[in-house]
Chains A and B, each alone.
Chain A
Amino acid sequence: MTIAFGNPDRPNSYIGKTVPRPNAPRLVQGRGRFVDDITLPRMAHVAFVRSPYAHARIGGIDAAAAKAVKGVLRVFTGADIAEVCTPWVAVLAHLKGLKSPPQHALATDRATWVGEPVAAVLATTRAAAEEAASLVEVAYEALPVVTDMMSALDETTPVIHPDLGDNLAFRRLHDEGDVEGAFAGAHAVVSARFRTARHTGVTLEPRSILVDWNPAEGQLVAWHATQAPHMMQTVLAKHLALPESRVRVICGDVGGSYGIKVHVYPDEVATAAIAKIMGRPVKFVADRLESFTTDIHARDHIVDARLAVDEAGRILAFDVDDWTAIGPYSVYPRTSAIEGNQVVNLCGGPYDFANYRARTTVVFQNKTPTCQYRAVGHPIAVAITEGLVDMAAAELGMDPVEIRRRNLYADDAYPATSPAKMRFEGLSHHASLDKLVALMDYDALRADQAAARKRGVHRGIGIASFIELTNPSPFMYGIGGARISAQDGCTVRMDPDGSVVALSGVTEQGQGTEAMLAQIVAEGVGVSPSEVRVVTGDTQVTPYGGGTWASRGAGIGGEAALQAARALRDSILEVAAAMLQSEPGRLDIRAGAVVDPDTGEERLSLAELGRIVYFRGDTLPKGLPRELVQTRHFITSEYPFAFTNGVQASYLEVDVETGVVTLLKHWCVEDCGRIVNPQLVDEQIRGGIVQGLGGALYEEIHYDEEGQLLNGSMADYLVPMAAETPDMIVGHVETPTKESLLGAKGAGEAGTAGAPAAVMNAINDALRPLGAQVTEMPFTPERILRALGAIED
C-alpha cells in the first residue's frame, strides 16, 4: 500500500525533493544547543578516574589529596554509586547462549579495561574535577590480561570472569544445505583470511549528559546526546529505582552519533546517580582523549572464509568462520553479540545460492567494549563476500562485473529468502549494477587502467554489491526482552495561525531527520515545509518511539509522520467542509489553504480556519469534531527488516614503491526505496562512504599485549579527511517497500557497508598482475608493500 509520489506536478509535492533543512542556519550560525551549551543553577561537573590497567583488582582508594582541591564537592567510589544504582547484564533472550557479567556504573572490585571508570570527582568546575581526579590514588593489583582474540578460549588463557566459566560470550552456527558436498564437487575453491580492524566512531560532539534530580518533583531530567531517548528513560529509571514516568530524557542538538550514542555508558549512568545523590545538576562531557578509551569500539574481526564456484562462475557455497572480541562486557542493552550475528546473517547476501555455513565466535578480552557502530557487521560481511567473489572471478579469468551478473538475485525473484534465512521483499541488484556500470563508464575505465599499466602506473577497479538491513522490527531487540521500541509515533497538530507542529519519536543527530519529517508532514497536510515546526527528542513531549538507529528514521518515523499528517488533513477538511457547506472529498489543502481540488481556487486559509476553530468555536455546528491534532504510530509487520541493496565501485592507484593508495573516484548506486530528500540521502551515502574509506585505509585502534591503547588521539587514530576523499558519484534505483504508504527504507549505512570491500577489491585488482593480495584492513602502505614482498626486516 504505497502512494504514487512519482508525479512531480502533484500538489504539495515535497516528498522526493531537496528542500532546505530547517535547522541548518541555526547550526551553521553556531546557535545550536548541545548538552555542553546548557548551564543550570548549582550545576556541578564530574570527571572520572579511569583504570590505567587492562585488568586489575581495585584496592583502597585514597581521595584525601583530591578532596583538598578547591572546588571539589565529593569523590565517589564504585561502592558509593552501587548504593543507588544497580548493575546491568547485557544479554538478549533470542541470542541463545549469550552471557555477560553484571556491570556497575563505576567498577567496584575489578577494572577490566584501560579507561574503565573506577572513581568520580564532582567539583564546581570541570578543571577542578580533572585536577582532583588526577590526585585520586587507587591501589591497583595487576591481574593477568587477555588481549589476543584467537587464543581467548585456549585452556591456558586466564578467564576474565571466573563466574562465567570461560571467555566465550556467544557462538552461533548457521548451516544450510550441503556445504561440504558443494565444496567437494566444486570447479574452483578460493579462500582467504580477512581482518577488519578495531574502529571507533569519531563524533564531532563527544558523549555528553547533564542530569538534574529534583527531589521536590521526584523527577530526574537528563539532557543527553543520545539516539534513543526513550530507551535511556527506561534504563535510568530501572537502575536508579525510579518510575519510568519520573524520568525525562531531553535530546537537543546532537553532533553526530554513528551508533556510538545509542548505548548505555557506565560514566553517563554514574553521572545520573551522582545527580540523584547530590540533589543538584551534574554535567559530564567526555573529552576527546577519554572518548578513545570509552566510546564503544567495533569491527575487530578475523574471518577465515572460502567460496566454491562451478565452471560457469555460479556460486555453490560460502563457508565462513568469524571471530570477534568484544572487550570485558557485552554492552547494555543492545549487546555486543549483534555484530557477529550480523556477519552470519549477511555473508553472501546479494547472491542466489544454496549452501551456506557461517559461524561467529564472540569472546571476551581486556579492551574497550565493542558494540554497534554504523553499518553493524555489514562492512565485514561485504568484504568477505565481495573479496571472495573477486578472487573466484580471477581464478576463473572472468570479469568481476560478469561473475556478479551470474549470481545476483534476479530483479524479479522477490520475495526471496536467502540461505541465511533473511527475507527480501524487493531488491534491484541488476538494475543497480547496470546503472553503476554506466555511471562509471566501466569499459573506458578498464581501457584507462590498461594504458596506465603500460606507463608503469598500477590502477585498480573494485566492485562491491551489498545488502543493508534497515527498518528493524521487534525481531532485532524486542523479542530478546529489551525495552527498545521498534515502533515509532508522530503527533501532528495545527495551531490557530494555520502552522503545523510535528512531534516525533525519532531523533536528529545532524543528518537532517527534522528536514525529512518537515517535508513529509508538509506534503501530508498540504502546507509549505516552512510552516512545519518539528519537535524531537523529549520523552515527556513526543510520542513514544525507538529513536534513530539501524537506518529507521525515514522508514519508520517518516511513515508515522505521513500517516499522522494525512489524518490531520482529514480532520481539517472535516471542519472546513462544515464551514464551507461542502464535503471533505470535494476539498483539498494546498499551500496552507483549503481549495477546490478541480480549480485550485482558494476557499479558506488555514489561518482563518484556525481562528474560527480556536476562538469562535461557538459558530461551528454542535458535535463537530474539532481536534486539529492527530497521532499515528507505525511498525513494520510483514518483514523482520526492510533490506536495501546497492553496489559500489572504487577506482584507485597504488604506488608500488611506497605502498600509498590514492583514491581516484568512487561510485555508489543504491536502492533505499522512496527517497524523501535526494540531497540528504546523497549526503548520507557520501558520509557513509567516507567512514567506509576510513576502515579500508586508515582506521585501526592498536593495543599492546598489556591491553594499553597505543593510538588514542586524533593525531594517531587516522580518520579520512577531505584531501584523501575522492569524488563520489551517487545514483539511485527506487524500489519502495510495500509495507508503508511512504515506501522508504533506510539510507544511513549503505555507504559504510560497501566502501571497504570496493577499495579492497580495487587494490587487489591493481596488485594482481604483481602476484600480491591484501585482505587485512586497513590497507596501510606497509601492509601493501609487505604483500608485494618489498620490505626486508
Chain B
Amino acid sequence: MKAAVGGYARARDLRHALELLSSADGMGRVLAGGQSLVAALNMRLTTGDILVDISALADCRGVADDGGTLRIGALTRHAEIGRDPLVRAHAPLLAEAVGHIAHAAIRNRGTIGGAIAHADPAAEFPACALALGAVMRVEGLDGPRDIPVEAFFRDTFETALAEGEILTAISVPKAAPGEVQVIQEVARRSGDYALAGLCLVRRAGRHRLALFSTGPKPMLATAAMAALDGGDTEAAISALKAEIDPPSDTQASGAYRRHLAGVLLRRAVARIEGGTR
C-alpha cells in the first residue's frame, strides 16, 4: 500500500521544527526513527500527515551525566542506549530492555523519544520510564516544560504532549547504591510485542513495579508495590492480579495475561533477590 502523506519537511533545529509543527494546522507529525510512524503510514492507518523530520537535531541525541540524573536525548537510538556505558552503569533497566525491543534493524533506527511519545501500551521503554520515575522534557514555541512520567501516559497512544510540542529528552534518576532493576516479559516470538511484561525496581528497600501490555497504558501496580515493600511476594502477586485488567486479543486472553503477570513478578522478585531467572 502506498502512504498518503500531506507533506514532509526536515527541521534544521528545534525552533524550526516547532515552527513547522505550528504551521501544519494540526496535521503535523514528528518523524524521528520512523519505526512506528512509517509503518502506520504505509498501512494507511493515518493519511494526510505533514511530517516534520527531527532526525537531524543533534542536540536531542546522546546520553549526558547531569549529576543525580541521566539526561537521554529523545533521538538516542535503541541500539545506542543498549551499549551506552552511562546507561549500563546508572539505568541498567533501559539497557536490558533494549534486548527485548523488536529486531536489530528496528533497534538501529528507532529512538527512545519516539517510543515514549508513541506510547504504545505494549512497548518496553514507556514502562521502563515509569518504573524509573523519569521526567520528560518537552519543548514548545512557548518554551520548555517538564512532565513527570506518572502524568505523561494517558491512554493508548495518548500522552500529555500538547499539540505542537516535541519530546526532547528523558531524565532518569541514577541508580542508588544497591539498587536493582529488572525487566521480565513473554512474547510469542523473539522481538514481538510482549503478551505481558513488567519492570521491577528496588531502590533503598522500596519497590516500583511498572506493567506493560496489560492495559491501555503502562501502569504502576501500587498495591503490589506496597506488598513488596512489606516483603510479601505472594501477597504482591495476588495484589497485582487484582489491580490489572488486561485486554484480550488474537494472541492471548486477558485471563492468560493476568496469570502471566503473576509468573513474571515471581521471577522478577527471584532475580532481584539474586536468583538466576
Q: Residues of A at under 8 Å CB distance from B?
A: 126-127, 130-131, 134, 287, 289-290, 657-660, 698, 700, 702, 710-711, 713, 715-716, 718, 720-721, 723-724, 780-782, 785, 790-793
Verify A131–B259 contact, CB threshold 8 A.
no
B253 within 8 A of A: yes
B191 within 8 A of A: yes
Verify B250–A287 contact, CB threshold 8 A.
no
Verify A782–B2 contact, CB threshold 8 A.
no
Q: Complex Cα distance A290/B44, Å?
A: 12
A126, A713, A781 interface centre (most CB from chain B within 10 Å): A781
B255 within 8 A of A: yes
B269 within 8 A of A: no
Contacts A/B (CB < 8 Å), 14 sampled: A126-B2, A130-B4, A287-B1, A289-B43, A716-B250, A718-B188, A718-B251, A721-B190, A723-B190, A780-B188, A780-B251, A785-B256, A785-B259, A793-B255
Q: Complex Cα distance A715/B4, Å?
A: 21
A720 partner, pick from B189, B252, B255, B259, beta carbons under 8 A:
B189
**Distance to closest chain A CB from B12 (angstroms):** 29
B192 within 8 A of A: yes
Number of interface residues of B (CB under 8 A): 22
**Distance to closest chain B CB from A643 (angstroms):** 34
B57 within 8 A of A: no
> Smallest CB-CB separation from A657: which chain B residue?
B263
Verify B2–A781 contact, CB threshold 8 A.
no
Given A781-B186, A782-B253, A793-B255: A718 and B263 within 8 A (CB)? no
Q: Complex Cα distance A698/B195, Å?
A: 14
Verify A130–B188 contact, CB threshold 8 A.
no
Contact indicator per residue, chain B 1-33, by CB within 8 Å of chain A (1) or not (0): 110100000000000000000000000000000
Contact indicator per residue, chain B 240-277, by CB within 8 Å of chain A (1) or not (0): 00000000001111011001100100000000000000
Dominant secondary structure at the A interface: loop
**Distance to closest chain B CB from A452 (angstroms):** 16
Verify A724–B189 contact, CB threshold 8 A.
yes
Complex interface: chain A residues within 8 A of B4 (CB): 127, 130-131
Complex interface: chain A residues within 8 A of B190 (CB): 721, 723-724
**Distance to closest chain B CB from A691 (angstroms):** 15
> Smallest CB-CB separation from B267: which chain A residue?
A657
Verify B252–A289 contact, CB threshold 8 A.
no
Verify B259–A792 contact, CB threshold 8 A.
yes
**Distance to closest chain B CB from A36 (angstroms):** 13
Complex interface: chain A residues within 8 A of B192 (CB): 718
Complex interface: chain B residues within 8 A of A660 (CB): 186
Complex interface: chain B residues within 8 A of A711 (CB): 250
**Distance to closest chain A CB from B39 (angstroms):** 8
9 closest A-B pairs by beta carbon, nearest first, are A723-B190, A127-B2, A782-B256, A702-B250, A711-B250, A657-B263, A287-B1, A793-B255, A782-B252
Q: Complex Cα distance A718/B250, Å?
A: 11
> Smallest CB-CB separation from B262: which chain A residue?
A657
Complex interface: chain A residues within 8 A of B44 (CB): 130, 134
Verify B250–A710 contact, CB threshold 8 A.
yes
Chain B 183-199 interface residues, beta-carbon cutoff 8 Å to A: 186, 188-193, 195
Complex interface: chain B residues within 8 A of A659 (CB): 256
B1, B4, B44, B193 interface centre (most CB from chain A within 10 Å): B1
Complex interface: chain B residues within 8 A of A782 (CB): 252-253, 256
Complex interface: chain A residues within 8 A of B252 (CB): 780-782
Verify A130–B259 contact, CB threshold 8 A.
no
B1, B253, B256 interface centre (most CB from chain A within 10 Å): B256
**Distance to closest chain B CB from A718 (angstroms):** 6
Contact indicator per residue, chain B 194-230, by CB within 8 Å of chain A (1) or not (0): 0100000000000000000000000000000000000
Q: Complex Cα distance A131/B195, Å?
A: 35
**Distance to closest chain A CB from B73 (angstroms):** 28
Given A290-B1, A718-B251, A723-B191, 9 more pairs with CB closer than 8 A:
A130-B2, A658-B186, A710-B250, A724-B190, A781-B260, A782-B256, A785-B259, A791-B253, A791-B259
Q: Complex Cα distance A658/B267, Å?
A: 11
Contact indicator per residue, chain B 162-191, by CB within 8 Å of chain A (1) or not (0): 000000000000000000000000101111
Given A710-B250, A713-B43, A780-B251: A698 and B189 within 8 A (CB)? yes
Verify A791–B191 contact, CB threshold 8 A.
no
Q: Complex Cα distance A660/B256, Å?
A: 12
Q: Complex Cα distance A289/B250, Å?
A: 17
Complex interface: chain B residues within 8 A of A716 (CB): 250-251
Q: Complex Cα distance A710/B251, Å?
A: 11
Q: Complex Cα distance A290/B191, Å?
A: 24
Complex interface: chain B residues within 8 A of A657 (CB): 263
Contact indicator per residue, chain B 27-48, by CB within 8 Å of chain A (1) or not (0): 0000000000000000110000
> Smallest CB-CB separation from A288: which chain B residue?
B1
> Smallest CB-CB separation from A717: which chain B residue?
B250
A792 partner, pick from B186, B255, B263, beta carbons under 8 A:
B255
**Distance to closest chain B CB from A194 (angstroms):** 21
Q: Complex Cα distance A235/B255, Å?
A: 50
Verify B191–A721 contact, CB threshold 8 A.
yes
**Distance to closest chain B CB from A334 (angstroms):** 29
Verify B263–A658 contact, CB threshold 8 A.
yes
B189 partner, pick from A290, A713, A723, beta carbons under 8 A:
A723
B1 partner, pick from A130, A710, A718, A781, beta carbons under 8 A:
A130
Verify A698–B188 contact, CB threshold 8 A.
yes
Verify A718–B189 contact, CB threshold 8 A.
yes
Q: Complex Cα distance A388/B250, Å?
A: 28
> Smallest CB-CB separation from A127: which chain B residue?
B2
**Distance to closest chain B CB from A710 (angstroms):** 5
Q: Complex Cα distance A597/B83, Å?
A: 66
**Distance to closest chain B CB from A56 (angstroms):** 22
Q: Complex Cα distance A131/B193, Å?
A: 31
Q: Complex Cα distance A131/B251, Å?
A: 32
> Smallest CB-CB separation from B264: which chain A residue?
A658
Complex interface: chain A residues within 8 A of B256 (CB): 659, 781-782, 785, 791
Complex interface: chain A residues within 8 A of B1 (CB): 130, 287, 289-290
Q: Complex Cα distance A781/B191, Å?
A: 16
Given A289-B1, A791-B255: A658 and B191 within 8 A (CB)? no
**Distance to closest chain A CB from B37 (angstroms):** 15
Q: Complex Cα distance A660/B190, Å?
A: 12
Q: Complex Cα distance A287/B1, Å?
A: 6
**Distance to closest chain B CB from A225 (angstroms):** 18
